[in-house]
A and B are shown apart, each in its own frame.
Chain A
């Protein structure tokens, strides 16, 4: 980062030396710099700010995707916040995120630690374990649907043969929520495994040797050495996975579309269905904005945690 930051300064100084001031207050150099930055600023405004402004406008209007509609103030937000469906979706989003983040982290970390040991065909396992992350979500959700959807699917058949009776993994609201969360963990653990593997590779092994000489057990080494040393990477992966989970649309929608009876409806699914199925653009965008707000707060809190680790 440092060379990139200093280079323009040097160039600008050279340019400044060769050109006289433009006149009152603002030098020609300043104008040049502003004009050089302008294209990027315009692009940023067009790409990021414009859609945000349009969306913000939609959230306070009673329109459609084509027509702006009437100004309704914050009534869309009030409608959303007083809707039981919003809070049902918020609750499931929270559960889905907690299970998604920590379930995939624990699984990923466990496998990353396992892959550091001398097991046969380690390379093959590494590749195979990456498959859930690599395979397109449409393919994996279709495969999971085939596994669990009907009484003749493999898993219900197995549970029936084991004496658990007819189990409806996607038709029972509680089981559907569990199935979706497990699916999310299955899809996400390779990412966590990759992040943890990278962090573990950077840990100096001599620390463990010293701890071993001091009589620290494997568990003590893991809790007091490994976890603190990979904490920065862990917090980053938690932040990323939190964002992935809260914004995760396909994992839920392709498997259950938020059903049965909203049992697996997350905020992003609710926002989508409100805009594109109920065709209520204002309330749908309001949900998305509220969701973004919460995500920003959570991410900021986790970033602060990273800074604490850095300072420590």
Chain B
């Protein structure tokens, strides 16, 4: 070969090297080559909702899925909680996201707002026809409803009940509280034996402090929003609730280190018998080892306003517009819903079921704490959207966002005037919700 040929060959190769990835990048049809006819693969993305055994079981369920002739097979992918929003967003933007996924309470609303969710109305009609719809606990499906339709289908609820350590209450000579006044009295008694009567935490990546503040507002008939979904923080009910929290902080009933507690720090307080009463997740007893046997779910408290209410998050299964076919997504979702009972049949640390058939089954009813959550808390629980009945996209930013986290930290320190803190929260929420 002469020099010119060599150079030309080299340039040709260089051009090909550049063109190949560029052409590959242009192929953004997604779905790993799935055709619109419904073949190919259907991606199901799932988070670690429980112990590591949860995802192993999930994989088995997906492996066991046999689609109808010509329909898409399902693949299973675990998405870690850390940075899950970025993972979903970037995948959806590049058309490589899932066809169906589990997701956090407001994820479906968020992606629906951005035109990425396939509404589940026709699927829910199918559930009504085959009777599955009636198996859902009352009101749960409605939490997924928006003006445009159902954004997702519930599969479990993450309730925020009050827990108490019976051994510590007995040691302190306190009775199990049923009202805020009794909570204060029990807290004072617990403080005398070196335990916290309002255990919570608002450190790195710990939302429980924020959840606790909102739960107290909702308990007192308040909430973050008005019935139209506009931020409405500075209300009498909320001020009263936060004044009570400040009193708990100033009385030393709230651990003064709580503001910086991560979820692990908080769990270690429960494990170390330093936490007597507190709002936590439904799985607290399972997280605390030997102490778990002393932990019990309290009845929802009656607030000074006379209201009884709590906070919950309805976790759901959502379908995306980027799918081999909507029929394939719905067929898969139908199968998956029929299998979720195995997560409670073989306990893997998931939250509260949404199906009556699971909640009433022997394998579930043997745990009195879980039964108490279903029977006593679920009927009075509301979402973050309270007092609005429908959830909306901005709630995702409200839940994980800075204004609420800062508010919780300010309240746990017990130094800020509740009205001032709520006014700051109002401004913070307005800046998030307006966008």
Task: Specify which chain A residues have a CB less than 8 angstroms from the CB of B110 in the assembled complex.
Answer: 279
B260 A66 Cβ-Cβ under 8 A = no
Interface residue count on the A side (C-beta < 8 Å): 41
Q: Per a CB cutoff under 8 Å, which of B11, B265, B405 touches A150?
A: B265
Per-residue CB contact flags for chain B residues 290-325 toward chain A (1 = under 8 Å, else 0) read 000000000000000000000000000000000000
A158 to chain B, nearest CB (A): 15
CA distance A255 to B260 in the complex (A): 9
B254 smallest CB distance to A (angstroms): 11
Q: Are B116 and A149 in contact (CB under 8 A)?
A: no
State in angstroms the CA–CA spacing of A262 and B205 once bound together. Answer: 14
A168–B249 Cα distance when bound, in Å, is 15
How many Å lie between the Cα of A40 and that of B49 in the bound state?
A: 45
Most A CB within 10 A of own CB, among B3, B259, B396, B403: B259
If over half of B's interface residues share one DSSP class (helix, strand or loop), that class is named, otherwise mixed; here it is helix
A171 and B259: CB pair below 8 A? yes
The answer to whether A279 touches B432 (Cβ under 8 A) is yes
Do A277 and B402 have beta carbons less than 8 Å apart? yes
Asked if B356 is an interface residue, CB under 8 A from chain A, the answer is no
Contacts of B14 in A (CB 8 A): 35-36, 38-39
Interface-centre pick from A42, A166, A278 (highest chain B CB count, 10 A):
A278
B23 within 8 A of A: no
Residues of A within 8 A of B265 (CB): 145, 149-150
The contact of B7 among A32, A66, A257, by CB within 8 Å, is A32
Kindly state whether residue A19 has any CB partner on chain B within 8 Å: yes
Chain A residues, CB < 8 A from B205: 257
Q: How far is the CA of A287 from the CA of B157 in the complex (A)?
A: 36
In the complex, the answer to whether A149 meets B203 with C-beta atoms within 8 Å is yes
Cβ of B18 and Cβ of A39 under 8 Å apart?
Answer: yes
Q: Are A18 and B260 in contact (CB under 8 A)?
A: no
Instruction: Give the residues in chain B near A64, CB-CB below 8 Å.
Output: 89, 114
Given contacts A39-B17, A66-B93, are A262 and B432 in contact (CB under 8 A)?
no
The B-contacting residues of A in range 250-296, CB under 8 angstroms, are 253-257, 259-262, 273-274, 276-280
Say whether, besides A19-B4, A65-B93, A274-B402, A259 and B18 are in contact (CB < 8 Å): no
Could you say which of B90, B114, B260, B432 contacts A170, with CB atoms under 8 Å apart? B260
Which residues does chain B contribute within 8 Å of A273, judged by CB atoms? 401-402
Residue B387, interface by CB 8 Å: no
On whether the beta carbons of A149 and B261 are closer than 8 Å, the reply is yes
A151 to chain B, nearest CB (A): 6
Question: Is A176 part of the binding interface, using a Cβ–Cβ cutoff of 8 Å?
Answer: yes
Output the least CB separation between A22 and chain B (Å): 12
Chain A residues with CB below 8 A from B115, complex form = 67
- Whether a CB of chain B sits under 8 angstroms from the CB of A137 is no
Interface residues of A in 209-243 (CB under 8 A from B): none
Q: Which A residues fall within an 8 A CB radius of B? A: 15, 18-19, 32, 35-36, 38-39, 42, 62, 64-67, 85, 145, 149-152, 166, 168, 170-171, 176, 253-257, 259-262, 273-274, 276-280
Q: In the A-B complex, list the 8 residue pairs whose CB atoms are closest, starting with the nearest.
A: A170-B260, A257-B204, A65-B89, A279-B397, A171-B260, A278-B401, A277-B400, A171-B257
List 23 A-B pairs, Cβ < 8 Å.
A65-B86, A65-B90, A66-B93, A66-B111, A85-B402, A145-B265, A149-B257, A152-B272, A171-B256, A171-B258, A171-B259, A253-B204, A259-B202, A259-B259, A259-B260, A260-B259, A260-B409, A276-B400, A277-B405, A278-B402, A278-B403, A278-B431, A280-B431
